[in-house]
Structure 1
Amino acid sequence: MRFTPFSLPSVSQADQAGQPASPSRSRVLWLSCVAHALHDGYTDMIYVLLPVWQADFGLSYGALAMLRGIYAGTMASLQLPAGRLANRLGSRATLALGTLLAASGYAVAGMSGSLLGLCVALAISGSGSSTQHPIASGAVSRTYGRNARGPLSIYNFSGDLGKSALPAAISLLVTLMPWRHALWMVSVLGCVVAAAIALFLPSIPRSKPVTEEPSTPRSSTAGRGFSLLFMIGVLDTGVRVGLLTFLPFLLKAKGVSPPMVGTALALVFIGGAAGKFACGWLGARMGVTGTVLVTEGGTAALIIAVMFCPLALAMVLLPLLGMMLNGTSTVLYGTVPELAPLENTERAFALFYTGTIASGAISPVLYGFLGDRIGIHGATFATALTALAIFPLAVALRSHLMPER
């Protein structure tokens, strides 16, 4: 029977009765957060390693782009197979094996002596990381049921912590030791996390079908609602990565020095982390549609403001811009279980993450070609228009959501 939004199970009868979260629920959340932080950190660690590999192997910029593309491509393309594997092996085993595989990929990279070896290593690591998003987010969703929006925002926020911590750690390690030894150290960290998942992550029960009347509006429109949510996620990701592609150039045009560009981006990322953390609860109180309209409208307004206002004011606005850019994603992820038209949450999350990751890879290229034709300001203005294009989709989505409290 098809999966419906009302079939998300709780871990225990006490949870179903509305009691405080059990230790099992807390373990699911925090181990999922640790997995998210590790895998997102592994993903962004590559940016630090690319200059090191260029110097050591004499790689061209095209080869460096290929390395990043291999990792992102394998991670995006294997999201759905990872969800199917979880149906066979269980969430705990699949997530532990995926984490071990991601760690092993970096260990192989530390032993590689050629571009081909790096390509194979990053394909291995990206394959392992493909398990994390659908399975960990699905585990949190199943465990907390209809109260999952807040925990999912914590889970989403943990990824930003990993993106900050692991690249910073590898930057320090490569100054203290050969880069191969540094990769082996972070690989050992991944093996430890994989062991912790295998030993301590509670078993997540599978969904039990819930019978509903075929004429129920939600049953008949869940697929359309999920499609709308998917489109919003793809466009939202496109806005975010498109703007971040052009933002350093916009700031340089305002007279920002290269070191200050890094500081400016840090302000955006700090605001983005805060936005992910806060907007999960904002969505629970304000409603999904209202929150999306506020964040996307705020994004469009702040993009235009940063384009045209003086440098000092632009720097002040950057953290708020980061909050608007990243805030929508938490609300969208928290809504996936409500609209999943498929037989389980893992597959729904896999579909959603496949779309957003692919959008993150393709959008900079499209906006880049646009920038070549109409200039950087015109292309940046196009990202603001894309944010506004989400408005009618968000309004259409309202009728497919559960009544918002």
Structure 2
Amino acid sequence: MAFYRKRARRCRGDDGRVPTNRTPGRGPIALLSLGHACVDVYQGAVAALVPFLVAERAYGYAAVAGVVLAASLMSSVVQPLFGALTDRWAMPWLLPVSTLVGGAGVALAGVSGDYALTVAAVAVSGIGVAAYHPEAARVARRASRGSHTAMGWFSLGGNLGFAAAPLLVWAVVATGGLRASPLLVVPALAGAALCAAALRGVRARDAAAARTAPAPGRDDWRSFLLLTGAIVCRSVVFVGLSAFVALYVRERTGGGEAAGTAALFVLYLGGAVGTVAGGRLAARFGRVRVVQWSYALTVLAVAGVVLVPGPALYAFVALTSAGLYVPFSLHITLAQDYLPRRVGTASGVTLGLTVSVGGVAAPLIGAVADAVSLQAALVPLIALPALGRLLLRRLPEPHPPSATA
């Protein structure tokens, strides 16, 4: 009987090993996911402010693209630096502190009508976002113990924050104007409290897991760089659409601010479904195959957004969102498994540096839109997911080390 009880425990996974399709540590992961949502509100909020900056301050396409660029550069270029630091020293205190900094920057963005001060405020917010993600990804990886599904839930929080940002900004700014932006600090206060609670839950099991964790494997820089190139292509498409899809849908459908906000909401909300689906699909088909399929879908979806007129645009925006978000959490775990000795660096590059390229591309898209048309400026975005799919063609499926309880 003792033999059969022991065997049954092993079948359930109670022998200490955690299969990658399970979701261990649900309490800390849930808190980290909610905290992630509160932080990524401020990534989505900058793009959501664009129509109001155009309406209240008469900014042109290039000017609002500059605001998006400031947030993207500071949240992206600085992120690998924080990643390298977290590879050397654990800095869990960064989670609540960076959440507050990210919220304070966006809250101050609408206070002054001066363009330079607005850019400076969103840049400060970007620094807070940059400081948060590498350490949060490291803590989530430890709490998830190698589970793709758990990392999907962690990423889902960020996507929900993105999705909530247009509605939150619209609720605050549409009623009180840009000067009501200080109210946008509320999610940061909640996020800081959630991060502190999550860290308390992770700390004890983190120390126990560190004593029995397997030695990291070898770094595969070639595969990491190919993956990074594909993520760059994805980043340009995502940032470009985030910055201009609200204005584009208003042009193509003849709707008002609500029509543009709805399109941005659909773009972000699709990530909630896509991220969770990505983790489950990866458990069945493998991460690399799922990522490859997603990039192929994105090519067709973006073509529909750019070329199809009328209300059908919303369906293609939703498909684009799925194509962009299904591989999102898989990018993170793939990068971490390609560089198991530099998890913070892998997280910082994947979540940060690659996004900066999208931010750099945004002003170019805005300049072409000012010179020709917004539709013509968005046409090149169709080719980028195809290029990303080519880079992923020979990418190997990594085998992460077994996590231990």
Normalised by the shorter chain, which TM-score bucket? Answer: 0.7 to 0.9
Shift of 1:55: 7.7
Could you tell me how far 1:339 is from its partner in structure 2? 0.9
In structure 2, the CA distance between the partners of 1:395 and 1:94, relative to structure 1 (3 Å rule), is: same
Tell whether 2:232 aligns with 1:234. yes
Q: Deviations 1:359-396 (Å, cap 9, x if unpaired)?
A: 22123445567779998777655433322223332222
Number of aligned residue pairs: 377
C-alpha contact (below 8 Å) 2:80/2:353 kept by paired residues: no
Distance 1:103 1:308 in 2: 36
AA aligned to 1:102 is G
Which moves more between the two structures, 272-281 or 190-199?
A: 190-199
Q: For 1:195-274, what aligned pairs fall within 5 Å after superposition?
A: 195-201=193-199, 202-203=202-203, 204-205=206-207, 219=218, 222-242=220-240, 256-259=253-256, 260=259, 262-274=261-273
2: CA distance between counterparts of 1:52 and 1:304? 27
Aligned 8 A contact 2:101 2:124 in 1: yes
How far is the alpha carbon of 1:66 from its aligned partner?
A: 3.9
Q: Which residue pairs with 2:9 in the alignment?
A: none
**Residue of structure 2 aligned with 1:351, choices 349, 352, 368:** 349
Matches within 5 A, 1:144-183: 144-147=144-147, 149-174=148-173, 177=176, 180=179, 182-183=180-181
Partner residue of 1:276? 275
CA distance in 2 between counterparts of 1:376 and 1:115 reads 23
- Which AA in structure 2 matches 1:233? I
Describe the shift of the 1:197–1:242 C-alpha distance in structure 2 as closer, same or farther (beyond 3 A): closer
Contact kept, 8 Å, 1:233 with 1:329, in 2: the verdict is no
Distance 1:153 1:226 in 2: 20
For structure 2, the residue ranges without an aligned partner over 5 or more in a row are 1-12, 401-405
| 1:402 matched to 2:372 | no
2: CA distance, partners of 1:157 / 1:316: 21
Q: Matches of 1:284 and 1:176 in 2, distance apart? A: 45
Does the C-alpha gap of structure 1 residues 263 and 142 become closer, same or farther in structure 2, counting only changes over 3 Å? same
Which stretch has the larger CA shift, 363-372 or 132-141? 363-372
Partner residue of 1:388 out of 386, 389, 393: 386
Counterpart for residue 82 of structure 2:
82
Is residue 266–residue 317 contact of structure 2 (8 Å, CA) maintained in 1? yes
Q: TM-score, normalised by structure 1?
A: 0.76
Matches of 1:73 and 1:320 in 2, distance apart? 27
Q: CA deviation at 1:76?
A: 1.4
Question: What is the CA–CA distance in structure 2 between the aligned matches of 1:331 and 1:150, rounded to whole Å?
Answer: 10
Amino acid in the other structure paired with 1:121:
A
**Is residue 167–residue 265 contact of structure 2 (8 Å, CA) maintained in 1?**
no
The 1:110–1:368 alpha-carbon spacing in structure 2 relative to 1, beyond 3 Å, is closer
**C-alpha distance in structure 1 between counterparts of 2:106 and 2:242, whole Å:** 27
CA contact (8 A) 1:35 1:132 kept: no
Which amino acid is the alignment partner of residue 283 of structure 1? A
Q: Which residue of structure 1 aligns with residue 8 of structure 2?
A: none
Instruction: State the Cα distance separating 1:130 from its structure 2 match.
Output: 1.0
Question: What is the match of residue 5 of structure 1?
Answer: none
Distance 1:15 1:192, change over 3 A: farther
Deviations 1:8-36 (A, max 9, x none): xxxxx9794339866xx223312321222
Contact 1:230 1:355 in 2 (8 A): no
Unaligned regions of 5+ residues in structure 1, if any? 1-12, 213-217
1:167 is displaced (CA, Å) by: 3.7
Give the conservation status (yes or no) of the 8 Å contact 2:69–2:360: no
Cα distance, 1:309 vs structure 2:
5.8
Instruction: Let me know the Cα RMSD of the aligned residues.
Output: 3.9
Shift of 1:139: 1.4
Identity %: 23
